[in-house]
Amino acid sequence: MRTAFGAAVAVVLTAGIGWCDVTKPQDVIYVDGAVAASLSGKPGDPAVGAEVMNKGAGNCIACHQVSALSHLPFHGEIGPMLDGVADRWTVAELRGIVANAKVMFEGSMMPSFYRTDGFIRLGDAYTGDAHGDGEVQPLLTAQQVEDVVAYLLTLKEE
C-alpha cells in the first residue's frame, strides 16, 4: 500500500515539475522578435514537428513550401519557402516567429500560434460567431512550438 501511494506521489510531483517549466503565452519574452528560452522546458521532436506542420492547428504547408515534405499535397505560396530556414535564422528567432511572427514582422499574415490575448475581434473557430467569454487557448501548445522549431532546424541548405 505504501509503495503504491509513494509511486502515485512521485508521478504527481514529476508531472508538476514538467508543468512548471512551461512558459504561458502571456509570459513569453521577445527580444527583437526572438525567444531565447524554450517554451516547454523540453527539447522539441523534429518528427512530431513535421506532423504538426502537415495538419491540424499548425498546417504550415498551407502557406509555405518545404521540399522535404513534397510528398504532402497542397503546399501554399503565401509565406516564404522554408528550405534552408535553419541557415537563415537562429533557434531563438525561429521560436519567436513560430510563437508570434507579428512581433518580428509587423503586419504579417502568419497566425500567432502561441498567443492568447490582444486580439481585436476573436472568432469562434470557423462558425463566424464572436468568441465567447471563455479562456482563449493558443493554436499550438508550448511543446508543439518546440517540435516545429526542432523540425525547422533540420531544414538546412544542401
Q: Closest Cα to residue 82, out of 101, 61, 100, 99?
A: 61
CA dist 49 and 96 (Å) reads 16
CA atoms within 13 Å, Cβ hemisphere of 59: 12
**Interatomic CA distance for residues 51 and 68, integer angstroms:** 12
Tell me the per-residue pLDDT of 58-114, one tens digit each, with 9 for 90 and over.
Answer: 899 999 999 999 998 889 999 999 999 999 999 999 999 999 999 999 999 999 999
Q: What is the CATH number of domain 2-152?
A: 1.10.760.10
- Phi-psi bin for 140: left (phi > 0), alpha (psi -120 to 50), beta? beta
Q: Mean pLDDT across the stretch 125-144?
A: 78
Tell me, rounded to whole angstroms, the distance of Cα 146 from its chain centroid: 6
CB burial readout 104-138, b (16+ within 10 A) else e: beeeeebbbbbbeeeeeeeeeeeeeeeeeeeeeeb
Give 23-64 pLDDT, tens digit per residue: 999 999 999 999 999 999 999 999 999 999 997 778 999 999
What local confidence, expressed as pLDDT, does residue 127 receive?
Answer: 61
- Measured in degrees and rounded to the nearest 5, phi and psi for residue 94 equal -60, -40
Query: Rounded to an integer, what distance in angstroms lies between the CA atom of residue 37 and that of residue 20?
Result: 14
